[in-house]
Amino acid sequence: MPELNFEITGKDGLARTAKFKTPHGVIETPTILPVINPNIPTLGIGEMVSLGARAFITNSYIIRRSENLREKAEKNGVHSLIGFDGPIMTDSGTFQSHVYSDVEYTNLEIVEFQRKIGSDISTILDVFSEPDFSHEKAEYAVMETYSRMNEVPQGVEDTILAGPIQGSVYPDLRKRSAELMSSSQAGYLPIGGVVPLLENYRYDALVDIIISSKLNASFSKPIHLFGGGHPMFLSMAVLLGVDIFDSASYVKYARDGRMLFSDGSKELSRISTLPRWSPLYGKYSVKEIREMNAEERKKALSLHNLAAIFNELHEIKERIYQQTLWQYVETKARSHPYLFKAYRRILEYSEILEKYEDLSKKSTFFYFDRYSDSTPYITRLSNFSKSIGDGNPVILGDEHWHPGRPHERGLKAAYESSDRPFLLKWQNMLVPLELDETYPVEQIISAGGQVPAAENVTSLQETPLSETKLRDFDIHRVRTIADYQFGIGIGERLFPDETVVTRSRNTGRIRGIFLAGKLLATLRAHDGFFTLTVEGARRLKDACKAPKHRVMVTDDSAEFNSKGFNVFFKFIISSDESIIAGNEVLVVNSKDELIAVGKSVLSGTEIKYFRSGVGVKVHKGILQGEEKEPGPD
C-alpha cells in the first residue's frame, strides 16, 4: 500500500479540509467522486471537471464482466478507459453481489483486477448490510468483511485499499468494524450500507452510524460515505467528520426529471426559473428544458445536479475555513423536518463532540433558541459553570452588565467588597462574571433566552458589602479564565496573589499578566483566552503533572522547536489526550523538559493518529529570548 499522506489544512470540530495523496494526484477534501458508468456515459469528463470534479469512482465489476471494457482497461488502464489522468477509485461489485446473491469473481480476484487496471483506491468485496438486518446477520457482514481484508496480501504498493465499515444500524457493530478496519492495511475507510437510509430520509439513523464509525476509526484515514451525495445532507455529514462522498444521484434524479438544490430536490415540472449558479442559467429557459427529448433533458439536468452538489461543497469548505459550519447546519436543519430530527439527534452527542471543538472560533457564536443550549460550546461552558458551584450567588442582569462594555454602576467595587460568586444571566444559564469577555459569552449574537429562576440568590442591590476590599477582581478574573482554559485549580497556581495585571490604554481590557517583572501571559482581545509566554508555560508545567497539556517530541525535533520552529506530527512521541484544539500546549523533550510553547492544531485524541503536517504552531521557543508585553493597541 502506498505511504498514507492525509494532511489536515483546516478544521471546524470534526469537520476538516485536507489533502489526500494518491498515486495519480492529490484529492482535496471534502469532495465528492462522481460515479462514472463506463457503459452509459452521461456527461463528459471535461464538463464534470469544469464544475469541480477532481476525482471519480467507477465500478470494477462492471468493467471486468464486459469483454470490451475489460480488454481496454487491462491494456491501457482504467484512467485511459475513463479519459481522466487524475485519481480514480473503483468499487468492487458489492452492491451487485448483494442484489443478485453472488458475483462470479472472488474477493482476491476483484482486488487483483483493480490493481491490474491501475485503480488509485481499490475496494475489497465487502458484505453489504441492510438497515433491517438482525444483529447476528449484521455481525456476520462485519466479520466476513474484515476477513476478506485480511485475505489481501500485505505490502500492496500500487493502490490504496478501501476497507468498508459495515454493521447496519447497530452502533456497537459500527464501532467494532471501524476499529478492525483501522487496524488493518486499509488506508481508506468508506461507510457502507447506508443508501437505503438515505433514500428513505432516515438521517437520524445516519447520524448514529457516522458518529459510531468516525469516532472509532483512525483519524488519519479518509472517511467516505458510500452513496451519500445529496446536497441536502452533505453539510451535516461533513460536520460529523465525513471527508469524501460518491454519488450517481446527479444522473438518477435527472433521469426522473428532478433537479437538486441545497435543501432538497424539485420536479422540473414545478420549476419556474433557474438559479443563477446553475450552468443552465442563461443558456436555456425552463420551457426549453421541458421540451427537450429525454436524452438531452437528462444530460442538461445532470449538469445542473452535479453543479448543485459542488456548489454546496464549496459553501461547506468556506464554512470550515470561517469556522461557521455548525451554525450553517443548525440553520439548514430547519429546511426539512427529517434534517431537523437528525440535528436534534446530533445534539444528544454534544458531550462527546465537545472535545473535538477548538478552544474558540474565528466567528461570532450564533444563539438561536433552546436547541442552541445543547451545542458543544454551550455544553462546555455550562459544565464549567456548574463545576465551580454557586455558593449563594449574586445574580446580575442586563441592568448591571452589557457584553463588550466596561463595567458600569460600581460593579467592580461591589464585587471586591463581597465574597460571593457573581453570576451573569446569559441565555438560558448562569455563568461566572469573570468570563464576561471570554468566548462565547461576549462573542455572541443572540435571539435571546430565558434564564430559569435560581434559589438562594441575591440581587446586586441586596448584596451586603464590606467596607474593606475582600478580593481583587482582576486577579479573580485571570484565575477563572485559566481554570476554564486549563482546568479547575490551575488559575491560583498559575497566578499567585503577587501577580500584576496591566490593561490596554485604549480599550481598558486586561492585556498582560506579570509576576516579579516577568510576563506570564497576554489576554487575547478576540476571544478572551491566554497566550502563554515561556515563563508562563514553565508555571503551567509546574502546576500540572505530566502528561497534562504536554506534547512530547523527539530530542532531534526539540532542538529546532526550542528555536521557535513548529512541531510536525511525525516527531511527536506522545501527547495529552485531553488537549483541546487551539489551546496552549507545552512542548517538551523526552525528559519532560520544556522546549517551547504553542497552539495545538488538533485535539489530543486526534494528534496520535497523524504523521504528516504541523501538529503544534509554536509561538515561542526557550532559546528565543525574553518576551515583552505588546505595545499599546
Domain boundary among 347, 381, 402: 347
Domain boundary among 309, 327, 347: 347
Tell me the C-alpha distance between 222 and 5, whole Å. Answer: 10
Per-residue model confidence (pLDDT) at position 617: 98
For residues 434 and 583, membership in a common domain is answered with: no
Per-residue model confidence (pLDDT) at position 400: 61
Q: Which three cell numbers stand for residue 379?
A: 455544553
Per-residue model confidence (pLDDT) at position 104: 78
Per-residue model confidence (pLDDT) at position 605: 95
Per-residue model confidence (pLDDT) at position 393: 86
How does residue 406 score in pLDDT terms, banded at 50, 70 and 90?
very low
Higher pLDDT, 580 or 416: 580
Q: Could you tell me if 165 and 174 are in contact, meaning their C-beta atoms sit under 8 angstroms apart?
A: yes
How does residue 631 score in pLDDT terms, banded at 50, 70 and 90?
low
Tell me the C-alpha distance between 471 and 473, whole Å. Answer: 6
Is the pLDDT score of 103 beyond 80? no
Within a domain: residue 629? no
Mean pLDDT of the chain, nearest integer: 92
Within a domain: residue 160? yes
Higher pLDDT, 104 or 183: 183
Domain boundary among 456, 471, 486: 471
Task: Tell me which amino acid residue 554 is.
Answer: T
Give the mean model confidence (pLDDT) for residues 3-9. Answer: 83
Q: What is the pLDDT of residues 548-562, one digit of tens each?
A: 999 999 999 999 999
Per-residue model confidence (pLDDT) at position 4: 64
Is the pLDDT score of 195 beyond 80? yes
Q: What is the pLDDT of residues 506-541, one digit of tens each?
A: 888 899 999 999 999 999 999 999 999 999 999 999
For residues 170 and 318, membership in a common domain is answered with: yes
Predicted TM-score (pTM) of this structure: 0.94
Residue 182 sits at the vertex; the CA angle it makes with 181 and 183, to the nearest 5 degrees, is 90
Within a domain: residue 465? yes
Is the pLDDT score of 411 beyond 90? no
Within a domain: residue 1? no
Kind of pairing between the strands at 258-261 and 422-426: unpaired
Q: What is the pLDDT of residues 222-254, one digit of tens each?
A: 999 999 989 999 999 999 999 999 989 999 999
Tell me the C-alpha distance between 472 and 418, whole Å. Answer: 10
Per-residue model confidence (pLDDT) at position 274: 97
Q: Which three cell numbers stand for residue 95?
A: 452492491
Q: What is the pLDDT of residues 575-613, one digit of tens each?
A: 999 999 999 999 999 999 999 999 999 999 999 999 999
Within a domain: residue 632? no
Tell me the C-alpha distance between 609 and 570, whole Å. Answer: 10
Q: Could you tell me if 316 and 238 are in contact, meaning their C-beta atoms sit under 8 angstroms apart?
A: yes
pLDDT above 90 as % of the chain = 81
Within a domain: residue 328? yes
Q: 529 — alpha (psi -120 to 50), left (phi > 0) or beta? A: beta
Tell me the C-alpha distance between 371 and 36, whole Å. Answer: 41
Q: How far is CA 1 from CA 23, 49, 348, in A?
A: 10, 27, 38
Per-residue model confidence (pLDDT) at position 545: 92
Reference 77, options 20, 152, 19, 158; nearest CA is 158
Would you name the residues annotated as active-site residues? 91
How does residue 105 score in pLDDT terms, banded at 50, 70 and 90?
confident
Q: What is the pLDDT of residues 489-509, one digit of tens each?
A: 999 999 999 999 999 888 888
State which H helix or E strand residue 599 sits in.
strand 594-600
Q: Could you tell me if 109 and 124 are in contact, meaning their C-beta atoms sit under 8 angstroms apart?
A: no
Q: Could you tell me if 582 and 533 are in contact, meaning their C-beta atoms sit under 8 angstroms apart?
A: no
For residues 102 and 174, membership in a common domain is answered with: yes
Per-residue model confidence (pLDDT) at position 633: 52
Per-residue model confidence (pLDDT) at position 258: 97
Q: What is the pLDDT of residues 465-483, one digit of tens each?
A: 677 888 999 999 999 999 9
Q: How far is CA 563 from CA 222, 250, 319, 399, in A?
A: 34, 52, 34, 50
Q: Could you tell me if 493 and 621 are in contact, meaning their C-beta atoms sit under 8 angstroms apart?
A: no
Contacts of 20 (CB under 8 A, 6+ apart): 5, 6, 7, 26, 27, 28, 29, 222, 243, 244
Q: What is the pLDDT of residues 129-138, one digit of tens each?
A: 999 999 999 9
State which H helix or E strand residue 367 sits in.
strand 365-367
Q: Which of 141-145, 157-161, 449-453 has the lowest mean pLDDT?
A: 449-453
- The CATH number of whichever domain residue 595 belongs to comes to 2.30.130.10
Q: What is the pLDDT of residues 8-28, one digit of tens each?
A: 999 999 999 999 999 999 999
Q: What are phi and psi of 572, to 5 degrees?
A: -85, 125
Is the pLDDT score of 101 beyond 70? no
Q: What is the pLDDT of residues 281-307, one digit of tens each?
A: 999 999 999 999 999 999 999 999 999
Beta bridge partners of 152: none
Higher pLDDT, 454 or 277: 277
Per-residue model confidence (pLDDT) at position 627: 66
How does residue 452 score in pLDDT terms, banded at 50, 70 and 90?
low
Rg (CA), the chain: 28
Q: Could you tell me if 485 and 530 are in contact, meaning their C-beta atoms sit under 8 angstroms apart?
A: yes
For residues 584 and 595, membership in a common domain is answered with: yes
- The CATH number of whichever domain residue 156 belongs to comes to 3.20.20.105
For residues 236 and 336, membership in a common domain is answered with: yes
Would you list the DSSP string of 132-179? T--HHHHHHHHHHHHHHHHHSPS---SSEEE--B--TT-HHHHHHHHH
For residues 306 and 341, membership in a common domain is answered with: yes
HSE of 81, CA atoms in CB hemisphere, 13 A: 30
Number of domains making up the chain? 3
For residues 229 and 283, membership in a common domain is answered with: yes
Higher pLDDT, 257 or 397: 257
Is the pLDDT score of 414 beyond 60? yes
Give the mean model confidence (pLDDT) for residues 331-359. Answer: 97
Within a domain: residue 44? yes
Tell me the C-alpha distance between 71 and 414, whole Å. Answer: 85
Tell me the C-alpha distance between 428 and 454, whole Å. Answer: 12
For residues 391 and 449, membership in a common domain is answered with: yes
For residues 334 and 453, membership in a common domain is answered with: no
For residues 308 and 367, membership in a common domain is answered with: no
Give the mean model confidence (pLDDT) for residues 314-319. Answer: 98
Q: What is the pLDDT of residues 47-75, one digit of tens each?
A: 999 999 999 999 999 999 899 999 999 99
For residues 64 and 19, membership in a common domain is answered with: yes
How does residue 456 score in pLDDT terms, banded at 50, 70 and 90?
very low
Tell me the C-alpha distance between 491 and 438, whole Å. Answer: 15
Give the mean model confidence (pLDDT) for residues 422-433. Answer: 91
For residues 520 and 402, membership in a common domain is answered with: no
Within a domain: residue 630? no
How does residue 391 score in pLDDT terms, banded at 50, 70 and 90?
confident
The domain in which residue 556 lies consists of 476-621
